[in-house]
Amino acid sequence: MDFTDLHALLHATYGEMMPLCAHMTGIAKGIAGLGALFYIALRIWSSLARAEPIDVFPLLRPFVLGFCIMFFPSVVLGTVNAVLSPVVQGTEKLVHVQQNDLQSLRDQRDKLEEEAYRRDKSRAYLVDDAAWDEKVQEMGFIGPEDAITLAGMYAERTAFNTKRWFVKKIYQALELVYNAASLVIDTLRTFILIVLSILGPIVFGIAVWDGLGGSLSAWFARYISVYLWLPVSSILTALLTKIQVLMIS
């Protein structure tokens, strides 16, 4: 199972769903247009009632939000994703580096362990078939006592190979758990990001209304926090992998 392809599939799914934001822009324009009418009229009327000069700068807010609604996929989502995507790529690279270091140390440890057994003539038969054949040939005619010794050698070698196989399977199981957890988090993250992206224009339209501007900051906070789920899980995976590296080294 290639988890990299599954993550790439989720990323492609998100990219395919982003154009659906355009279907919400019509509704968002209506909400924003009505909100902008009341927003501008209220401020102009308030300034005239107080006989104060009209401050034009605050009146630009509905127009800026309307521009963001019109070009929501490219201006808003494109900008936010361009800023946050290097964080995802950097944490993924960190995980790959730690996993490569761990695999290198495992191979080095297994090689040193095998060399140590080969140098020990009394235990070389556990890892070397030639040493096993030589030890069997040294017995010559196999009597009852030699048969018991040979059976013990078989049992010892089987136990040794079983132990190595079991340790290898534990490492593979842990790696599978890490990758599966990361995939689950990425799936939930992608789903929530798609929902936030599709409803984003509506949120921007509601934010035009006076008193509802907090919905805009809430949308950005939720989108950024959900987007960073995958980097956080990658950092945790890198941390656990680093602990294994330190234990082996």
Q: Any alpha helices (H) in 50-143, and if so which ranges?
A: 61-70, 78-119, 129-139
Give the residue from 193, 182, 155, 196 showing the smallest Cα distance to 237.
Answer: 182
Confidence at residue 43, expressed as pLDDT on a 0 to 100 scale? 78
Region of residue 211 (phi > 0: left; psi between -120 and 50: alpha; otherwise: beta)? left
- Can you tell me the distance from the alpha carbon of 125 to that of 119, in angstroms, rounded to the nearest whole number? 11
- Can you tell me the distance from the alpha carbon of 23 to that of 219, in angstroms, rounded to the nearest whole number? 19
Domain ranges of the chain: 3-248
Provide the 8-state DSSP code for 142: -
Read off the pLDDT of residues 71-126 as tens digits, 9 standing for 90 and up. 888 888 889 999 999 998 898 898 888 888 888 888 887 777 777 766 666 666 66
- Cβ-based neighbours of 219, under 8 Å, separated by 6 or more: 196, 200, 203, 204
Confidence at residue 122, expressed as pLDDT on a 0 to 100 scale? 63
Confidence at residue 223, expressed as pLDDT on a 0 to 100 scale? 93
- Could you tell me which residue, 83 or 43, shows the higher pLDDT? 83
147 burial type by CB count under 10 A (0-12 exposed, 13-18 middle, 19+ buried): exposed
Q: What is the pTM of this model?
A: 0.77
Average pLDDT over residues 178-187: 87
Q: What is the average pLDDT score of the chain?
A: 81
Give the residue from 62, 79, 74 showing the smallest Cα distance to 28.
Answer: 62
Read off the pLDDT of residues 186-243 as tens digits, 9 standing for 90 and up. 899 999 999 999 888 999 999 888 888 788 899 999 999 999 998 888 888 888 888 8
Confidence at residue 80, expressed as pLDDT on a 0 to 100 scale? 92
* Terminal-residue alpha carbon distance, the chain: 29
